[in-house]
Structure 1
Amino acid sequence: MWQRAKIIELIDDQFRIKDESLDYVSPETEGDRFFLGLDKAGAPYFVAYRKGFVESTSDEFQSLRTIGKKLADLEIGAAVHALALAQWHESHQRCAKCGGATVIGMAGAIRKCSACSAEHHPRTDPAVIVLVKDESDRILLGRQKVWPEKRFSTFAGFVEPGESFESTVLREVAEECGGQVISMKYLGSQPWPFPASIMIAYEAVISNPGTTKADGEEIEEIIWLDRELLKAKVASQELLLPPAISVARAMINSWCGPSARELVAKESWRDVGR
């Protein structure tokens, strides 16, 4: 299977790229081999992953954050899977039961402890992400302390043990901005391998827009926006939106409607740089 596979090369968090697409490499490429799945034609996909250093000026390698919005659907799916799987293997070198060394098993689907034989499976941490609205159809965005200046986005938080997605929406909105949710609607989900999350997207309407405020701990600033104000602040670069690859941006664009195409300006990530 390896000899006829489409093989993605991943060095650290950098993918080999050619002409804004994944550049599939030969079976002789070095690295740990993880199976990603089959396409509709039955062609197998693998990632060849290894730690290493890629020059920041290299055109041959780019991060998923940089190239993701340009990839075709199949390629973005394969790249997200590859990065999430590689990062899980990198961070689970030891057994959670006995502390023994673990080794790759089942073509990357598990890690097995060499001491106690316990099998460990890749994990994904669920988090809700919420587009908060008022009854006048304005949206509320927030800025985390750790983000670059002017960078605003939707509200999000991890699901606690024993908590439903809906309960997490209620809690996170109340904690981060003091909003009292009166209705919510599920919008979709997105795998987010930075490092290992699945984002569960909701739209939530709150009853008390006049009393919302940033919690001062995680959220430093909030802003209510109608469509015209959002477009004006983006155009003047008073407000930086989340990147186009993110479900947060997709929710904002969907709310904005056809005029979302005017939201063209600088984007910002939590991490400065790549």
Structure 2
Amino acid sequence: MTERELPLGRSAVNRAAHRRRDTQWLADAWKRAQVLVVDADGRALVDTSTRPYELILVAADAAPDGDRLFLGEDDEQVYFAVRGELPAETGGPEPHTVRAVGASLGARDAGLFVEAVALANWHDNIAYDPVTGAPTQARDGGWVRVSEGGAQIFPRTDPAMIVLVHDGVAGPAGRALLGRQAEWPPGRYSTLAGFVEPGESAEAAVVREVAEETGVAVTDVRYVGSQPWPFPASLMLGFSALADPAQPIRRVDEELEDARWFTRDEIRAQRDANRVMPMTTSIAYYLISNWLDGII
């Protein structure tokens, strides 16, 4: 079987970082740009009548005022994003979050949407210098903020790990360890995840988080892939790991409401019936689906 693509790991636009400090080029590029408007809830207008879905981009002269966030360029177009209000009209394209529609967008639009949301979220949270408290202003096409004292502040990303723990057994009887948070819809279980702590490798975080959440010791930690998760500013690092299902499950840190082992047949039945699986945009869905198909 063919390995799936990570929905938010796709991109077809060159970020063209060398353009960011060229103020004249940015000013000229804005005049011919296509602009993605993202509202305060991280939504953009999306046409869901097409396959794949399509973002609604507007000309620069129709974009709201705000920091002009340079997203990149391709052979045909230059792209910016602006935080602003979305039209209130109904009957056409409607507001959606990248979490809801990311997996249904094409590579270009998925990449633009997640980049715009991540960058806009960062700007919302860094209006003041975290050291001096001085106001900051956007520079370099939105990729730097500068305080009154000249200090430069760059966007940050918080690394987090997410892991599909399984028993290494092939076929329908193979089992995976999934957990459940209390606030999720009834019956939903997913892969285990947590933030990488200071001074810690991602692999060490996998071992620690699984032990903290379930009491299970894992081995053979293997990197699978990553994707941004801008809610508000994470980078999800996906792994697989092996464990013995005979180990007792103990919810050490009480972060999970429940954790248990599921067979491939049990999980596949849930997926095929469109029941309580993680959202298709998530790396959890990617890890589980690839494990079901014997790819990891």
- TM-score class, shorter: 0.7 to 0.9
The Cα shift of 1:126 comes to: 0.1
Amino acid at match of 1:244: T
The Cα shift of 1:229 comes to: 1.4
TM value normalised by structure 2: 0.80
**Any conservation in 1 of the 2:38–2:86 contact (CA below 8 Å)?**
no
Matched, 1:83 2:137: no
The Cα shift of 1:11 comes to: 1.6
Bigger relative CO (Cα 8 Å, ≥ 6 apart): 2
Residue aligned with 1:46, SS: strand
**Any conservation in 2 of the 1:180–1:208 contact (CA below 8 Å)?**
no
Structure 2 unmatched ranges of 5 or more: 1-28
Sort the Cα spacing of 1:174 and 1:55 in 2 relative to 1 into closer, same or farther, 3 A.
farther
Instruction: Work out the number of aligned pairs and report it.
Output: 255
Tell me the residue number matched to 2:154: 121
* Aligned mates of 1:213, 1:232 — CA distance in 2: 27
Tell me the residue number matched to 1:7: 35
Matched, 1:24 2:57: yes
The Cα shift of 1:215 comes to: 3.4
* Aligned mates of 2:124, 2:187 — CA distance in 1: 33
Sort the Cα spacing of 1:58 and 1:176 in 2 relative to 1 into closer, same or farther, 3 A.
farther
Tell me the residue number matched to 2:276: 240
* Aligned mates of 2:201, 2:154 — CA distance in 1: 23
The Cα shift of 1:208 comes to: 5.0
Tell me the residue number matched to 1:45: 79
Matched, 1:36 2:71: yes
Amino acid at match of 2:238: A
Compute the RMSD of aligned alpha carbons: 2.2
Tell me the residue number matched to 1:225: 262
* Aligned mates of 1:214, 1:56 — CA distance in 2: 46
Amino acid at match of 1:181: V
**Any conservation in 2 of the 1:7–1:46 contact (CA below 8 Å)?**
yes
* Aligned mates of 1:159, 1:203 — CA distance in 2: 16
Tell me the residue number matched to 2:134: 100
Tell me the residue number matched to 2:230: 193
Q: Write out per-residue CA displacement over residues 117-166 of structure 1, whole angstroms, 9 at most, x where no aligned residue.
A: 21110000000000011243311110012323222110001010000111
Residue aligned with 2:284, SS: helix
* Aligned mates of 2:216, 2:76 — CA distance in 1: 49
Matched, 1:62 2:99: no
Structure 1 unmatched ranges of 5 or more: 259-274
The Cα shift of 1:56 comes to: 9.9
